[in-house]
Structure 1
Amino acid sequence: MMTGTGCLCVTLLLLLHRADSERFEVLGPTRAIAAVAGDDIILPCYIKPNISAEDMRVDWFRVNHPDPQSNIRVHLYQDGRDKYHDQIRSYEGRTSLFKEELKKGNTSLKLTRVQGTDDGQYKCLVKSKTHYDDATIQVHIRAIGSKPEVSIEGQKEGGMGLLCVSKGWFPEPELEWLDSEGVTLSAGPSETDRDYKGFYIVKLKTIVKETDTNHFTCRLRQRQLSEQINMETEFHIPSELILVHTDTWRVAFAVIVSLSIVLVVILAFTIWRWNHLSNDYDASKAKHSQELEKVQDDKKCRLKILTNQLDFVNMKRCPELESIRRHAVDVTLDPDTAHSQLILSEDRKQVRCGDIKQELPDNLERFDKVHYVLGKEGFSSVRFYYEVQVEGMTGWTLGVVSKSINRKRMIHLKPDNGCWTVWLRDGEYKALTGPSVPISRSEPQKVGVFVDYEEGQVSFYNAEARSHIYSFTGCTFTEKLYPLFYSGTIDNSAPLVITPVYVTD
């Protein structure tokens, strides 16, 4: 018969044997994985010994993610299924495990259509009920961008300004200006930006003077893992162009000096004449006052007539708007995207900013940092048009954005980030081109938004005055576009209102 002490020893031995049988190692590749942007890659990770991982937790996440405010999870498998509730937004729809291979201990991750933001370290963590281990994988992304494009910025102090721009690179390349002898020209620091996929956009400016050849070169260099890529764009400035600009400034200076002299003479004469006539003016002031009132009444009458005529002309000065209005679509607001402080009407046609935050589900589509809301439907490969009433508002933003716009942090509204918008702030109307462009227009009461997806164009119209406000052209759209609405702060008593579009035959 076994004593109590013997039973305890046997139980401990069985538990130790069971725990030891569930111990495993997580192994990954010994070298970094290199990938070309746009390709699909596999991040190898497997368990040794080859026991089943079907009932384990498989967690893939980024190490030292460049955005500290972003989630770090790339993919999570738990309780026999994939979970995406806190996945990094840029990985949505691009990650998957090999489900049939999990029973063999294969926990590798497939990542499709790699982009610049995918560059970095990944950790594969596998955890059972009693044990866990992990492996680290390094990924290097390579993207070859556009050939440098050179343009003239115009006359600058000391010479002619040139700009060199190249887009779509990873890792970041270097730009350099050279003269016809291959000597490096002085230039300011490079301007670097990144698009929403993490690819680099670099710009470099320089100021050049006339030379024997007027040939200049913008050279791009990028160090890849095992090679260096070089690209060059040569540019020639005609001597006539430099001379024209130089002569123009000389003529302008001479004209300014001459005008200044004339103005001084006129001012002196005016002061003398004013003093001479001041007494006569006081004597006839009463008489002229009555005549002036009569003239002003006459001007008011004429102004009213001209205003009515101008309204009629404005109705006719943008004839293409009537054909554009035939592409009208029914736009409604998407409550799942609305910031918690926004109040939507029951018919989803109006939005205004409230003074308190509402208790709403924290889903992936909802804006957290800014008071934005999107249209319910997205559009691609079509032309579409809608109108929004902005009457009585002190601030608003309208336009379209790409589907992948980040909803969980502050957004820089510009085309490079997938945003084509205009706004009213502090009494100024601007097109948000990054940097923004002031728009000199009369105050619109209703704004029309037109998108030609295939032509790459987003246009804004004063719908009541039938006049054009601003157009983004030469755009490249790669995903669905959604209408964007910003109704300002609680200071705005009036809401944004999506209005019906009536087409005139």
Structure 2
Amino acid sequence: MLDPAPGPNIQVVSACHHSALGSDPQIHMEVQESGEIRLECTSVGWYPEPQVQWRTSEGEWFPSTSESRNPDEEGLFTVAASVIIRDTSMKNISCHFQNLLLGQEKEVEISIPAPFFPRLTPWMVAVAVILMVLGLLTIGSVFGTWRLYRERARQRKDEFSSKEKLLEELKQKKATLHAGRHFWEVEVGDRADWAVGVCRENVVKKGFDPMTPQNGFWAVELYGNGYWALTPQRTPLPLAGPPRRVGIFLDYESGDVSFYNMANGAHIYTFSNASFSGPLRPFFCLWSCGKKPLTICPPTDGPERVTVVVDAKDFAKEIPLSPMGEDSASGDTDTLHSKLIPTQPSQGAP
């Protein structure tokens, strides 16, 4: 008896799922370079394939951007749905998985943090760049202004120190004067015309000779809105400001007569290497009458100051002179007048 031929060994495996409710969904959030927000919702273990929906906090439904549905070895589906959020007004978004066979669903909600709302649009970038540039320019301007202020403050300090140094030098000169050298100051104030200096005692007191060193005058003047040294051709003096007090230094032996602005110690003019012969007197001249005086201020250890005011009643006592070659009619006392200070004359060896 023959054994029957072996037949095929057939095994039938049947896997049948009536329905299955998947796991609780999870949402992953990713902020992209463009500022948009990508949300991906994932859940596993569904049968049959679930329906996926995205909803706003107001209940509005919107579709997924992309979905994937992959079954595992047991035929259960893993579902992933993603969406791109461009509307910055959305704050709370929920993801819903529905099993239509069972009539059940699972959902998850996510809140989008506030820092993710603004989207960097080109105009926002432009505004940010402009604000940054303006900020840098403002900082630069403030720094430049501060540096300029410091530089000007330093310059003013240096100028003040320089003036103090000059005035100190003048004080030292005044303190070290000895026989043969003399110093005095004339306060001219804000008079509009004057001449101060020294002259020979024997100058011509009548006539119209110019007030020059050749005629025995070494002086500077304010005349015609300008300052001048009374040289033969009149030398203009470009002063930085109007002197209110003029210091006069006389070195008889050296033949020097120097003038200084006593407000700041600035040098005005010097007659050098003059040939003095005989006594000299302080000299001043007033070109017009008025109530504003000239005040002669000698050194502190000298006699009291002498104040002179010229008005009409003094004209008869004054010596008419002519300014630098200009002619004056004889007897015209309203044109030009001068006085000599009534002090002792300066000798070569006083």
TM-score, length-scaled by structure 2: 0.40
Structure with the bigger percentage of helix: 1
TM-score, length-scaled by structure 1: 0.29
The answer to which structure, 1 or 2, has the higher relative contact order (CA under 8 A, 6+ apart) is 2
